A and B are shown apart, each in its own frame.
Chain A
Amino acid sequence: MINDLRLLGVGFRSVPAGEITIRLLRITRFAFVVMVVTGVLLFYSNPLRYYHNIFFRIKLVLLVVSAVNIWLFHGRIHRRVAEWQHDAVPPRQARLAGLVSLLAWSGIVVAGRLVAYDWFDCDRNVQTAFMMWLQGCATSGVAE
């Protein structure tokens, strides 16, 4: 979040952007590994339920979105970070990457929290055909 706020040019403006994207992302990477390991363990507590859960699926899609965003950012505008890192407000491309990242990660947090709710579970309540399809309910025959 700190990284995104800097890229948007709204926070930590006295700190060069390159310092945040490089030094801070080392910590972020470490934290990400912790989250993936614990997340996989939680997933294996009830894999079938999570596999079908709409919020879990949204979360995975957003993780891919944010990965692509990071990849694009580092492959393009970040290559020239030395040129703009002292600007209080970074160039448009960097701000866009910051915005996409902020939105995607916020979505990941919200979707992750909602995974716990069973409103749309295949075997609970009556689900619309579209929701059944979105969640692939038919594949494991949980609620045909």
Chain B
Amino acid sequence: MLWFFEWCEATWLGTAVRTSVGAFPLIESIHLLGLGLLGGAILVVDLRMLGVGLTGQRVAAVAREARPWLVLGLGTMVLTGTLLFLSEAVKCYYNTSFWVKMTALVIALCHTFLIRQPVALDPELESSTRSRFVAIGSMALWFTVAAAGRWIGYS
């Protein structure tokens, strides 16, 4: 599989980001702004499912309002994250944190769209034990993605 990572790094985009002084920090900053949006949109729903925060609204209402921001934040992060990855793909290949992050990301995405969203939108599950477990699971998964992501830079 290493050949694929080498190919990524040799792409025009990967080379452009790598050879520029300011591109990586700039894209990284936008990646973090995306994190602010994505993290907020995820947390506000998870916390509501746990009975914290916007308790004057139904869980479903909060989930519906948060969704477009979640998608926007996610889009920003995936786009900028891909650029960052292309610039140092081979380093990522040998980086354990990178693989932890990608694995956790896939699980977190499946959990968010296939499990959490339907549970949040179901009025019968509001403040049920199941809904609370789903919210805690969501926070744990996304925390793992973020922490492992931060760790990529330390190895």
Candidates B32, B52, B62; contact of A15 at CB < 8 Å: B62
A108 CA to B33 CA in the complex, in Å?
10
Count of residues in B whose CB is under 8 Å from the partner chain: 24
A24 and B56 in contact (CB under 8 A), knowing A15-B61, A15-B62, A113-B29? no
Candidates A13, A24, A110; contact of B54 at CB < 8 Å: A24
Contact indicator A2/B44 (Cβ below 8 Å): yes
Q: Which residue of B lies closest to A2 (CB)?
A: B40
Instruction: Determine if A27 is an interface residue (Cβ-Cβ < 8 Å).
Output: yes
A117 CA to B65 CA in the complex, in Å?
37
B54 neighbours in A (Cβ, 8 Å): 15, 19-20, 23-24
Candidates A19, A27, A110; contact of B32 at CB < 8 Å: A110
Pair count A-B, CB < 8 A: 58
Contact indicator A15/B57 (Cβ below 8 Å): yes
- Supplied contacts A11-B69, A105-B36, 9 more A-B pairs, CB within 8 Å: A14-B57, A15-B57, A19-B56, A20-B54, A109-B33, A109-B36, A110-B29, A114-B29, A117-B25
Q: Which residue of A lies closest to B26 (CB)?
A: A110
